[in-house]
Structure 1
Amino acid sequence: MRKVKSSTTSWVITGLGTVVTGIGKMLGGKIGAAIAGFGLAHVVLGMLDRIRPTVRQRS
């Protein structure tokens, strides 16, 4: 199994959150606002993951 770098994962989560936020904004209404909020939460979590310190393992 190939291991994905944490920075790549953070960018993917942030990008997907941006897409979901855009979809929520296009839908509008209460459902659209809920979907946009879900996407914004992922954007925030992805950015927080980027500034989190990494744990190094000894081999």
Structure 2
Amino acid sequence: MPAYWHPAFEDLGYKRGMCPNAETYYEQEISLPMFADLTADQVSRVVEVLRNALAA
């Protein structure tokens, strides 16, 4: 998500539409789960779902 959409920055007064390129990119990109505690089973599930989506 564009950084200025994050709730932590709400008080800065940013509004949707201020950075249309960032918003267009966000609408078209794919975000994969990435965090330190991601288990091997979770990684396998992400890979399975992604492969199925790409094969469709």
TM-score, normalised by the number of residues in structure 1: 0.31
Which structure would you say has the larger Rg? 2
Q: Larger relative contact order (C-alpha < 8 A, sep ≥ 6)?
A: 1
Structure with bigger helix share is 1
TM-score, normalised by the number of residues in structure 2: 0.33
